[in-house]
Structure 1
Amino acid sequence: MELLHSTALLCLLCTAAASSVLPIRNVALHGRSTQSSRFDWNSDAINAIDDNPDSNFFHGSCSSTSLDMSPWWRVDLLRPYRISHITITNRGDCCSEFLDGAKVLVGNSLENNGNNNAFCAGINSIPRGGTQTLQCNNLVGQYVNIIQPGKLTYLQLCEVQIFAVPDSNQALCI
């Protein structure tokens, strides 16, 4: 029993030490993305996490859903992270209003495609080709969703960056 307590304490110390020195980085780059639908062959969900902030839709670096009711986009970060902030780059050649009113959600559930997770931030408006930083105040989650709830519209994203560190409650020790 004493060995079990010692191992658990060592793991907690290891986790705390590791999380205090880990830099905040863009964890979206290694995630897996999906969206409620796809507008065309050139508008895959992965385009929003390709590390290319080009905001011209026709250059192939933006994602887009079809015209949907409550369209959404999601990235699976493959493990829970403590999310500091998220930056979103809007389409620059037209149609910047498609992001107006969108919500950013963070959590560990895939219930309702992840659209029931905790609210991180709302997007009032991002100008054409503009980038906005949204604070998530260290919300923890494996999934980050962007949704236009209750609207019949398109959802278009040219880059989504998620700055985070691994959740310290996840064991980092072996």
Structure 2
Amino acid sequence: PSQKFPVVWCSGGTVAELKGVTFQSSYPENAYKAIDGNRNGNYFSNANYGSCTHTATEENPWWRLDLEGEYEITSITITNRGDCCSERIDGAEIRIGNSLINEGNNNSRVAVVSSIPAGKDKTFNFGGGVSGRYVNIIIPGKYRILTLCEVQVFGSRRSGEG
């Protein structure tokens, strides 16, 4: 099941960190851990397995953030796992849009993660912004695992929304 976090936004075009409802293709670790505000990249940092998401080994694992409204997304920062397996994020695609066809994984690809060093952040900037309600991160391929220790999405509410 997903866990709901409040959508945070500011009026007047101010860019804010956005929250919403999270989902992922499989478990064992909950999708909401990518937006809990904890950027600790150590998956095994406590008895609850730290603050990172983790899918099963599967084909095309994905994670989705539903912003519960349409936003102009200006940047996304991803924090990679730091205690091992940092290469798992290599080749991940960031997709943004308004469709839930194929769980949102058919939305426009706006960036590809070449690599992120262990425990580090990487920011993807989108110039004037990319419009969408859903932010997906998917790793194409067989026998893949998606682990995200934090995903920060920045943007502003589209005019006429909310």
Query: Could you tell me the TM-score, scaled by structure 2's length?
Result: 0.87
Per-residue CA distance 1:77-123 (angstroms, 9 max, x = gap): 00010000000000000000110000000000000000000111110
2-structure distance, mates of 1:32, 1:133? 21
2-structure distance, mates of 1:119, 1:135? 13
SS at match of 1:57: coil
Q: Which residue, out of 75, 79, 83, partners 2:73?
A: 83
2-structure distance, mates of 1:171, 1:32? 18
User: What's 2:24 paired with?
Assistant: 35
1:50 matched to 2:36: yes
Q: Percent identity between the aligned chains?
A: 48
Q: CA RMSD in A?
A: 1.3
2-structure distance, mates of 1:67, 1:103? 17
1:111 matched to 2:111: no
1:23 matched to 2:14: yes
2-structure distance, mates of 1:171, 1:89? 29
Deviation at 1:151, TM superposition (A): 3.4
User: What's 1:3 paired with?
Assistant: none
SS at match of 1:94: coil
1:131 matched to 2:121: yes
2-structure distance, mates of 1:79, 1:58? 34
Q: Return 5+ residue gaps in structure 1 as ranges.
A: 1-17
Aligned residue pair count: 148
Contact 1:88 1:160 in 2 (8 A): yes
Contact 1:120 1:135 in 2 (8 A): no
Q: Return 5+ residue gaps in structure 2 as ranges.
A: 1-9
User: What's 2:135 paired with?
Assistant: 144
Contact 1:84 1:135 in 2 (8 A): yes
User: What's 1:7 paired with?
Assistant: none
1:162 matched to 2:153: yes
SS at match of 1:86: strand
Deviation at 1:66, TM superposition (A): 0.4
Deviation at 1:22, TM superposition (A): 3.1
Per-residue CA distance 1:1-51 (angstroms, 9 max, x = gap): xxxxxxxxxxxxxxxxx96x33211102xx00010000x2xx200000001
2-structure distance, mates of 1:87, 1:147? 15
After the TM superposition, which parts of structure 1 deviate over 2 Å for at least 4 consecutive aligned residues? none
Q: What is the one-letter code of the residue matched to 2:52?
A: C
Deviation at 1:149, TM superposition (A): 1.3
Question: Taking structure 1 as reference, are residues 73 and 171 closer, same or farther at Cα in structure 2, changes over 3 Å only?
Answer: closer
Deviation at 1:134, TM superposition (A): 0.5
Query: Could you tell me the TM-score, scaled by structure 1's length?
Result: 0.81
Contact 2:70 2:161 in 1 (8 A): no
1-structure distance, mates of 2:32, 2:104? 17
